[in-house]
Amino acid sequence: MSNKKRAIGVFDSGYGGLTILNEFLKQLPEYDFIYLGDNARSPYGTRSYDVVYDYTLQAVEQLFSMNCELVILACNTASAKALRTIQQCDLPKIDANKRVLGVIRPSVEEVGMLTITNHVGVLGTVGTVRSNSYPLEIKKLFPEIKVIQESCPMWVPLVENNEFKSEGGQHFIKKNIENLLKRDPKIDTIILGCTHYPILLDEIRKYIPLGINLISQGEIVAKSLKDYLRRHPEMDMRCTKNGDREFYTTEFVDSFEDKASRFLNKELRAKHLDY
Ligand code: DGL
C-alpha cells in the first residue's frame, strides 16, 4: 500500500460538524482528518430527501476522491436522509471497502442508559424530525421509550449567522424548548439531534430545568468511532496517523476560517472547494 495520506473525512452542511470534529481531535488526536463544510448550500434541514441525498453523496464522493477511506456524516439531517441509501446502494458500486457512518445510532444507544422516566425529547432540524429517524431507531433498541420531537428551524441559521445571543435568537431557543417540555412534562432526557446545537449549549441550558439530561453528540460519536476503529483493525490500518488536519468549504474561505476558528477554539486555514 502506498504511504499517501488516508484521512478520516468529516462532513457537515456547515459548521455544526466541527462540534463532532472537536471531540475526534481530543479522543483520536493521532489520526488525519479532512473536514468538509457545504456552507454554500447550508442549511440542509429544510431541504427535501432527494436534495439532501444528492448533496451528501456528492460530498462523500469528493472526500473519497481525496483518499478518505472512512467518512463520518457529522450531520443528523444527512444521516437521517442519506446515510442508509449511501451505505446500501452507493457504496457497493463506488468501493465496497470504504465506509460511511452517521451520528444517529451512537446517540440513540446513549438514550437507554440515561432515561429513567422513559420519556425522551428530540430537538432537531425540520428534516431530521420529519424523517422520524430518532423515534424509529429508539424503538428498535428501546421499545418502551416514548419519543417527543420538536423541530427548531431557526436554530441552524442562528448559529451560522452568529445571532444566537441576540434577543431574537433567545426568543426562538426558549420557544422551542418550552414547546417540547409542554408537550410532555415527563421528559427527563433531551437529545440535541443536530450537530450545530452544541454551539448553543449555554443558551439551551438557560431554559432547561436542572435534572433533565442533555445529550450532546460530540463525545458520544467520538467514543463510538474509537470503538469502531478498535473493532475494525482492517479499516484502522488503512487510516494514516500523522495528526494532520485539512479544512474545506464550498463558501468563502475568509468567513469560514473566521467562524470555524471560533467553534474549534483554534486558528485554522481552509481551502475553497467546488464539486
Ligand atoms: N448540523 C446539521 C445537522 O446535524 C445541520 C443542519 C442543517 O444544515 O440544517 O442536522
pLDDT of residue 161: 86
> Residue 89 catalytic?
no
CA 140 / ligand 1 centre spacing (Å)? 24
Q: What are the pLDDT digits (tens) for 12-48?
A: 999 999 999 999 999 999 999 999 999 999 999 999 9
Mean pLDDT estimate for the chain: 95
The percentage of residues in the chain with a pLDDT greater than 70, rounded to a whole number, is 99
Q: Quick one: how far is CA 269 from the chain centroid? A: 21
- Going by pLDDT thresholds of 50, 70 and 90, the confidence category of residue 203 is very high
CB 260 within 8 A of CB 37: yes
pLDDT of residue 212: 96
Q: Is 266 helix (H, G, I), strand (E, B) or coil?
A: coil
Q: Is 56 in the pocket of ligand 1 (CB under 6 A)?
A: no
> Residue 75 catalytic?
yes
pLDDT of residue 1: 45
The percentage of residues in the chain with a pLDDT greater than 90, rounded to a whole number, is 93
Ligand 1 atom closest to the Cα of residue 77 is 10
Q: Which of 68, 152, 194, 239 is catalytic?
A: 194
Grid coordinates 460519536 are at which residue? 221
| Rg of the chain, C-alpha, whole Å | 18
Asked if the model's pLDDT at residue 238 lies above 80, the reply is yes
- Going by pLDDT thresholds of 50, 70 and 90, the confidence category of residue 99 is very high
Our separate counts of H helices and E strands in the chain read 14, 10
CA 16 / ligand 1 centre spacing (Å)? 7
- Going by pLDDT thresholds of 50, 70 and 90, the confidence category of residue 3 is low
Asked if the model's pLDDT at residue 162 lies above 90, the reply is no
